[in-house]
Amino acid sequence: MRPEEVIRILERNGFTQRKAKGGHRQLVRKQPPPPRLATVPYHSGDVPKPTLKKIAAQAGKSIDEFL
């Protein structure tokens, strides 16, 4: 899955981009509590599956719910 697609999924789940530094993008969701922070590697190519699982966990979802 491309980094752009991962960011779109997060945005549909209430995340907004907080900052971009180097090859990563940070997105934050403040509501509902607790606040969540997700970091997405923004490199060429697909996001590896283990990294995708970690991003889903940061978002408070299982990989199936996330996708």
| Domains located in the chain, CATH noted | 3-66 (3.30.920.30)
* Per-residue pLDDT tens digits for 57-67: 999 999 999 98
Please name the residue ranges forming H helices in 2-48.
Answer: 3-12
* Per-residue pLDDT tens digits for 12-59: 999 999 999 889 999 999 988 889 999 999 999 999 999 999 999 999
The pLDDT value given to residue 8: 96
- pTM summary value: 0.90
The pLDDT value given to residue 27: 97
The pLDDT value given to residue 21: 87
The pLDDT value given to residue 39: 96
Cβ–Cβ < 8 Å for 26, 36:
no
